[in-house]
Amino acid sequence: MKKFVGMLALAGAVALVLTGCASGGTTVGGGSTAGSGSGSDSSPVKVGFSQVGAESGWRSANTTSLKNSLDDANGFKLTFSDAQQKQENQIAAIRSFITQGVGAIVFAPVVETGWDDVLKEAKDAKIPVILEDRSVDSDPNLYTTRVGDDFEKEGETAGKWVADTFNGKKANLVVLEGTTGSSAANDRTTGFNKAIVGSDVKVLDSQTGNFTRSEGKTVMEGFLQKYGKTINVLFAQNDDMGLGALDAIKAAGLTPGKDIQIVTIDGTKDGLTALSNGAFNYVVECNPLLGDQVAAIVKKVVAGETVDKLYLAKDQAFDQAQATAALPTRQY
């Protein structure tokens, strides 16, 4: 009997040691460790999420997707911050997350540059950082992974459509760019320009519309005042800028989709509706529904599992018939 009691005591001591090890920071991919808010089987994972803003329909859908997936029911305690498209707001939010001791930080960077210092602070605090949607030009060792879309491929798909459509016909094109310095704008420009090399496409002008409907309209008005009916094709780097441009084109007495053919990127309901109605001519998808994938990766990271450095969503492209078919079940 004494021998049996002794064995029970030894087993209890081992269990205590194992429990103590499990309650500390856990190793994640890249050799960093999760912060004190990493949670356990019985406590939620604290996550700080800094979003770019609410500049477009795509962004709103992306925010909703992340909030729904990182909610209490799924085992998370989410702190959300809207950066209102200002990098300084995001840096302040990330530093606040670090102070709070969250288990993971998720953020969609406003621009690519200028993140080194705050990412080093997160790494020193052993809090993993997941880039959501956009990317940064910092040392990859300063963040754990990125979950997003292939922006360069999106731009290339749009450019190939223009080059093929206007093969043998002169395309006088204007471009509504996204937020200056953002990876989405930079990569879409790179991909588009790559696709039109050696084609019959002439780029008359290219200016930022900051991914917003209102600025898309304003910039398009300027293009029309400067170039008039010379313009016969528009590449808008997101649906909202293209939708804003529709008002400017109509006000100039022109018919969008005919006098000026329009290709955009996103694939929102509003964008596909414009395509289905003939106002747009081609739309390349950029999937905003990244929440479930981000949530799964956060759980892996704080559990100490190794994750890949990059996860890309699957995107498609739509002509008028495909848009009409997709609209009844479109989620965003």
Residue 28: band (very low, low, confident or very high) from pLDDT cuts 50, 70, 90: very low
230 in Cβ contact with 252 (< 8 Å): no
80 lies in the same domain as 174: no
Task: For residue 184, tell me if it sits in a domain.
Answer: yes
Task: For residue 19, tell me if it sits in a domain.
Answer: no
176 in Cβ contact with 280 (< 8 Å): no
Task: For residue 327, tell me if it sits in a domain.
Answer: no
181 lies in the same domain as 163: yes
Closest CA to 226 of 271, 270, 174: 174
How many Å apart are CA 48 and CA 100, to the nearest integer? 9
The one-letter amino acid at 310: L
CB neighbour class for 225 (10 Å; exposed up to 12, middle 13-18, buried from 19): exposed
Assign 3-class secondary structure to the chain: CHHHHHHHHHHHHHHHHHHHHHCCCCECHHHCECCCECCCCCCCEEEEEEECCCCCHHHHHHHHHHHHHCCHHHCEEEEEEECCCCHHHHHHHHHHHHHHCECEEEECCCCCCCCHHHHHHHHHCCCCEEEECCCCCCCHHHCCEEEECCHHHHHHHHHHHHHHHCCCCCEEEEEEECCCCCHHHHHHHHHHHHHCCCCCEEEEEEEECCCCHHHHHHHHHHHHHHHHHHCCEEEECCHHHHHHHHHHHHHCCCCECCCEEEEEEECCHHHHHHHHCCCCCEEEECCCCCHHHHHHHHHHHHCCCCCCCEEECCCCEECHHHHHHHHHHCCC
pLDDT tens-digit map of 67-115: 999 999 999 999 999 999 999 999 999 999 999 999 999 999 999 999 9
Closest CA to 306 of 150, 128, 103, 133: 128
Count CB neighbours of 295 within 10 A: 23
162 lies in the same domain as 144: no
282 lies in the same domain as 156: yes
Residue 42: band (very low, low, confident or very high) from pLDDT cuts 50, 70, 90: low
Residue 37: what pLDDT? Answer: 52
Number of domains in the chain: 2
How many Å apart are CA 57 and CA 53, to the nearest integer? 11
> Per-residue pLDDT for 1 more than 80?
no
274 lies in the same domain as 178: yes
Residue 36: what pLDDT? Answer: 41
Domain span at residue 158? 151-286
180 lies in the same domain as 135: no
Task: For residue 12, tell me if it sits in a domain.
Answer: no
243 in Cβ contact with 209 (< 8 Å): no
145 lies in the same domain as 201: no
Task: For residue 20, tell me if it sits in a domain.
Answer: no
CATH number for the domain spanning 294: value is: 3.40.50.2300
84 lies in the same domain as 124: yes
Task: For residue 64, tell me if it sits in a domain.
Answer: yes
pLDDT tens-digit map of 259-279: 999 999 999 999 999 999 999
47 lies in the same domain as 81: yes
85 lies in the same domain as 208: no
Lowest mean pLDDT, pick from 18-22, 49-53, 112-116, 207-211 = 18-22
202 lies in the same domain as 191: yes
277 lies in the same domain as 306: no
Q: Residue count of the chain, please give it.
A: 332
